[in-house]
Structure 1
Amino acid sequence: MSEEGTRPATFGEVFAVREFRPLFGTYTLSTIGDELARVALTVLVYQRTDSPLLSALTFALSFLPWAVGGPVLATVADRFPRHRVLIASDVARAVLVAAMAVPGMPLVLLLVLLLLVSLLAPPFESARSALMADVLEGERYAVATSLTNVSLQVAQVIGFLVAGALVTLFSPALVLLVDAATFAVSAVWLTVALERRPAPVAEAGDDAAGPSSVWRDAAEGLRLIGRTPRLLSIIALLWTGTMFANAAEGIAVPLTASLGEGPAQLGLLLAANPLGVTIGGLAVARLLGTARSERLMPVLMALSLAPVLLAGLVAVAAGPGREAYVLVVALLFVAGLGASWTIPLNVSFVQAVPAAYRGRAFGVAVSGLYGVQGLGALGAGLAAEEVPPGAVVAVAGALGLLAVVPPLLGFARTRPAVAGDGPAAGPSVS
């Protein structure tokens, strides 16, 4: 480990990197708009259909393209200049979301447009993640990752809280126009602020063995992960922990209703977990550092799932009532504190991936991440058609506590091998 890795970098050192500022700011801005639109559409579908399953489907729809085509779509981040991928994705999403705001748009067309917008997320997110690792290294990258995760949670908190108010006071069309505006502003900011770099695939000499294609690039990303035990353990832990910890989001509307509350309280319930992640992420970034937070991974993982189990039990046992609602929100906040385990895990992942493969590797990781979130939300929605939402939440927490044990053991076994000269699959990014 280098000298740089012996102490956490400061926030000032990270923000001093000029290109980090637009990557950080546009990500935060767009996330706020996305959460506004997601809540507005979820509430709209539930109001029209009174179906927990269809409401969960709407919430999950933005995640599912990652599971279906994410690894292939993400290869765009390694085939074209990453700044162009970011700008083009934002321009296209601004146009599509603005179209969703057309008055009288049928529900089916809204969902189709939402799906098209979601298909642009894999190339954008893979390019952004890979470019972050290009402009920052070592503990600066670790702190930048923490800040980005914290900004994600803050943006979700703001988006969820504002969405609850806007859905109550205004039409979903206005909320969608706000989302479109965030993409437009992001595209302009990135155009002005990012350096022009060549496509990274052109620099990777080991790709010259055959004709390049998105399918070949996606397969190479999968093979890299498949032959690297460290990456396999990280991804298994990320996907498993996220699926069970976030399953309750897919049935947030019926869960809030079962507690006797409405759309305004829905926003607070959805914001509780990301608010906890915000505070936990700041503590991990500045107080613990990467090595110590890795050692605390089992504790953080348990803290992210046990309160979910308790929140579900409270919802079932207490029934409708303000006291039960407040306790459920508090437990979800505590679960968010534990969910800061994603920060050291992200740093460990990027340290194990060679630079020319980052877009593809991030594509596989994030594709599965969003895919399991979508599947978790759909599974929760399907179960909530038959049993109370609180019971579904409790089962998700209990199953999650059991399911994360094997990947936690794998993560612990591979750690000593990475502490030396780096992973066998390629040079360490530090």
Structure 2
Amino acid sequence: MVTFLSSFFSGLSFLEAVRFASLASESLSVPSWRMFDAIFQILRDSKSLELAMASYQLLNELDQRYPRIYLTASDKPESTSGRAGELVVVKEAWSPFIVGSEASHTEAEAAGKSLDHLFDSSRFSALVDDMALAVNKTDFQLAIKPVERMLLFQYLVNVLEADFLPRQTLYKEMSNWVLFRESILNILLGSRKLNFKSFVRDCMSVMYRRCHHHIGKSVQDLRYAKDSCDKEAHNSNVSLAIALSELEKGTCVAVQKLMTLIMELDLIRKEADLQGLTTRVDGFRVPMLEIILDELTYNKDYISPFLMVFSEPKWKLEIILQYFSKYTTKSSVRTRRSNETSNDATLEAILSSFSTATSTKNIVKKISSEVAKLLLAHAFQASLSLQHCSRHNAYSAERIGGTLSQISNKLVSAFQSLRKNDEDLEITAFEKEALFAAATILSQRS
């Protein structure tokens, strides 16, 4: 007990000292590699909720103040138009990921920098696998370890995003695939140590199991905590239950962020592949979207919980369009340098597929009325979100394929066709909301 209290207070004192020297002092000093590493080890091996949260918050604040990768302001006249400058990668900076050549690892170890606790592809996938196994347990108990795993995962995703976004910004101007070939995310996913299909399935499992049920489960956890007889254990359980509820929300956001980054990377990789910019060094990996579609096709019970929590509108709509395309368009012969999936389908075209009794009946035979109406409602929801997202204006026009009034009108018609095909078809509350929104739009435009 004495040892634990000693390490607890020394850990907090160390974190506060680093915070003051690097973030609050008048003369700020950049944390050394070993200081960053020590904070990360506190996050990985903390024995208390307070230490875990403090180290997590400090790491994120330090990363924002001292980024490992960033874009310089362009010194060209057109920089006033928002054009990016050069990409700066601080190669000597500490990172929670082990990437690079064996030579660089040897140099780091020679300098007394231990890498054993840092994350490579296998360790990162194992972390996701541990979270997936935890959410599948019906007797999930309140403990500090799940909290640490979720905080650790959220931090690692933040690091991946911080490395990815500057490259994406510059890529839009330069279309240089090398920018992403050298990204941490691409290196992790390209490793032979990682079983990518299993990794995607684990991400999806966390999404449609823990994320979908985190509200109800959090209530159960709180009740469990309140039933504790011991006052000290009670207070500890309540704190963990509240933390777990918030961390689950943050973990759901992080899983969705990671999946979105991977699908964006796959899209960029496909563009580079079609232009002949990739080489054998880049290898080949089945795109995440394709694996998601396979999982939802063979496990239709997962469609509803997955789409309820996956809210990123661009990729949510893309998943639904590609799902429908499997049943409404003829498959084409694919080669390494061809599109992995058909990109011809638009939401307007999919909705038009329900314009006749015959075509509606054909679709329903393949995917059922329940799945069809669910997908249409979620697609409409995603299209509404895209209408208010300036980042996806070009994508919205291309993939939606019609005006808001046209989409609303065809959604109502599609549901009418589904009802005519099956008079006993029940419309869920979510689907009724989509139909109400469509009817409201039509009434306002008439």
TM-score over 0.5 for the pair: no
Normalised by the shorter chain, which TM-score bucket? under 0.3
Q: Which has the higher helix share?
A: 1
